[in-house]
Amino acid sequence: MTESVHITRCPDYDPALLKEQLKEHLSRYPELRELKGKRVLLKVNLLKAITPDRAVTTHPELLRAIIDDIHGRGGRTIIADSPGGPFLPSTLKKAYEVSGLEQLARETGAVLNYNTRYHEEVHPKGKFVKRFNVCDYLRDADIVIGVPKFKTHTLCGLSCASKIMYGVVPGLEKVRLHTRFPDPLDFSRMVLDLTELVAADLYIVDAVVGMDGNGPNVGRIRNVGLIASGRAPVVLDLAMCRVTGMDPEKLNIMRAAFRDGRATNDMRMDITGSGSKMRLDPPFDLPDRATFGSDPPRTLVGLVRRISTKGPSIDLRKCVGCGVCMDNCAGKAITMVDEKARIDMSRCIRCYCCHELCPHGAVKLSLSAGRTRQTVEELIYNVFK
Ligand code: SF4
Ligand code: SF4
């Protein structure tokens, strides 16, 4: 079967334009035509408490257009995600407030999820992982729509439809998964098993403004001017790679999909819509993290990774000692010294959670940080502090 993807041009978050665009996308899915009494869960991208202009979280105006459309068809909406850090009502409240979702819920009547319970689900058909802890909030929905922000990702290469459901893993359980799967390709294979287990009914990608380079937190904000939708997450991501000029073979999540037979790079897709022929110029920049063109022998993986991938280091002038990185460090490599974060690179597994979650942009990635225990910046700081 040829999977279809619909991509439309949408240059900004103008409410009237978004309303028109989302009507076009949502009307393509027959199960959304009559929603009387149905609960529609919007699984958004809410990495952390950060304002919408930073292009890290799903934009509230795009969500408003979806919510209004669904309410107009008689449905009810619930907004949910599990941000980084402990999965607590207080963490959620702060993330909702700062990201504009609390105001959106007040204005539209959408419900914000505060249910932080989770349960175990078995995935017998998983190609790599067959058991996951997932948040209970998924059980409350008749229909699930994944609404990812279109961003690059230092570990998986791309954060879009194939990765949006990773947010159903509760808070610090994500740290355990990073520890269990330190290899980026293994981690991506695990994410795809999870995506299959808790598949959304459809995905709507917020690529009006996205992020390239070192996403998903501190990359470069890019006007992409697109909204995309489809049912098959890997195919949707592949289509987005084509229009934004990224080589899927350089993105771990796509390489994992190819490896496990979920897609092929040259597969046929039915891409429709005003944005289907667009080619972003210049193309999306990939994250700095090196990926292997072909898999090296397992015995060499550790050595090759150490010399070819970037490591994290702390900008001690920006670090305020909040401890978010330490709490989310899968390698237990971070300690606090004089209220500043310090990384023991011998323990670092390069999961990049510190880079993703630092609220102050104080974690940098560089090749030298991957090889040495103390960066030049740290030495200078220690001399002049
Ligand atoms: S590096 Fe960032 S997250 Fe870690 S303690 Fe410093 S400010 Fe907080
Ligand atoms: S220091 Fe950062 S990149 Fe290294 S294991 Fe800890 S969170 Fe992951």
- CATH code of residue 348: 3.30.70.20
CB 259, CB 189: distance < 8 Å: yes
* 244 and 347 co-located in one domain: no
CA pair distance 326, 100, nearest whole angstrom? 27
SS3 263: coil
Residuewise pLDDT in 10s, the chain (385 residues)? 778 999 999 999 999 999 999 999 999 999 999 999 999 999 999 999 999 999 999 999 999 999 999 999 999 999 999 998 899 999 999 999 999 999 999 999 999 999 999 999 999 999 999 999 999 999 989 999 999 999 999 999 999 999 999 999 998 899 999 999 999 999 999 999 999 999 999 999 999 999 999 999 999 999 999 999 999 999 999 999 999 999 999 999 999 999 999 999 999 999 999 999 999 999 999 987 644 444 545 555 555 666 667 889 999 999 999 999 999 998 999 999 999 999 999 899 888 899 999 999 999 988 877 555 455 555 565 555 5
Same domain membership, residue 161 and residue 12: yes
Residue ranges making up the domain that contains 340: 298-384
**Ligand 1 pocket residues where CB is under 6 Å:** 314, 319-325, 341, 358, 360, 362-363
**Residue 278 forms part of a structural domain:** no
Q: Write down the pLDDT at residue 140.
A: 85
Q: How many domains is the chain built from?
A: 2
| Ligand 2 centroid distance, CA of 96 (Å) | 26
pLDDT, position 301: 57
Residues 342 and 235 in one domain: no
Return all residues near 267 (Cβ < 8 A) that are at least 6 apart: 235, 238
Sign of CA dihedral 265, 260, 202, 195: negative
Q: Where are the beta strands (DSSP E) in 111-254?
A: 111-112, 118-122, 131-135, 143-147, 149-153, 157-159, 202-212, 220-230
Q: Name the residue of 314, 357, 377 to mutate for ligand 1: max ligand atoms within 8 A of Cβ.
A: 314
Q: Find out whether 191 and 69 touch, Cβ atoms under 8 Å.
A: no
Domain end (from 272, 289, 319): 272
Residue 279 lies in a domain: no
Mutational test site, ligand 2, from 342, 346, 351, 363, max ligand atoms within 8 Å of CB: 351
Please say whether the beta carbons of 335 and 326 come within 8 A. yes
Q: What is the CA radius of gyration of the chain?
A: 20
Residue 310: per-residue pLDDT: 82
Identify the DSSP state of 288. S
Last residue in a domain, options 235, 256, 272: 272
Do 254 and 369 belong together in one domain? no
Whether 292 is in a domain gets the answer no
Nearest-angstrom CA–CA distance, 103 and 92: 14
Q: Is residue 85 assigned to a domain?
A: yes
Please indicate, yes or no, whether residues 89 and 52 belong to a single structural domain of this protein: yes
- Structure confidence at residue 384 (pLDDT): 58
Cα 194 vs. chain centroid, distance in angstroms? 14
**Which ligand does the CA of 351 lie closest to?**
2
Q: Considering the domain boundaries, does residue 288 fall inside one?
A: no
**CA–CA dist 275, 267 (Å, integer):** 19
Same domain, 122 and 159: yes
**287 inside domain:** no
**234, 256, 272 - which closes a domain:** 272
Residue whose structure tokens are 């999306």: 284
CB 284 within 8 A of CB 246: yes
Q: Is the same domain home to 93 and 32?
A: yes
In a domain, 281, yes or no: no
**Are 87 and 15 found together in one domain?**
yes
Q: Are residues 18 and 139 in the same domain?
A: yes
313 alpha carbon – ligand 2 mean position (Å): 9
Phi, psi torsion values for 242, nearest 5 degrees: -65, -45
**φ/ψ bin of 158: left (φ > 0), alpha (ψ from -120 to 50), beta (otherwise):** beta
pLDDT at position 294: 44
How far is the C-alpha of 154 from the C-alpha of 352, rounded, in Å? 7
CB atoms within 10 A of CB 216: 27
The CATH number assigned to the domain holding 59 equals 3.40.50.11440
Residue 291 inside a domain? The answer is no
Please identify which residue in the block is written with the tokens 């505060």: 114
CA–CA gap between residue 336 and residue 338 (Å, rounded): 6
d(CA 198, CA 139) in angstroms, rounded, equals 10
CA 372 centroid distance within chain: 29
- Going by CA atoms, what residue is nearest to atom 7 of ligand 2? 329
| Ligand nearest to C-alpha 314 | 1
Could you tell me if 150 and 11 lie in one domain? Answer: yes
Rounded distance, CA 153 to CA 217, Å? 8
Who's near 297: CB < 8 A, 6+ residues apart?
A: none
Whether 249 and 363 map to the same domain: the answer is: no
Index of the ligand 1 atom closest to the CA of residue 334: 4
Probe residue for ligand 2, chosen from 174, 348, 371, 372 as the CB with the greatest number of ligand atoms within 8 Å: 348
Residue ranges of the alpha helices (H) in the chain? 15-26, 60-72, 89-98, 101-108, 173-180, 184-197, 233-244, 252-259, 298-308, 324-327, 353-357, 367-371, 376-384
DSSP conformation letters of 16-35 = HHHHHHHHHHHTT-GGGS--
CB atoms within 10 A of CB 130: 13
Query: Residue 7, SS3?
Result: strand
Tokens of 240: 């987005």
The verdict on 84 and 199 lying in the same domain is yes
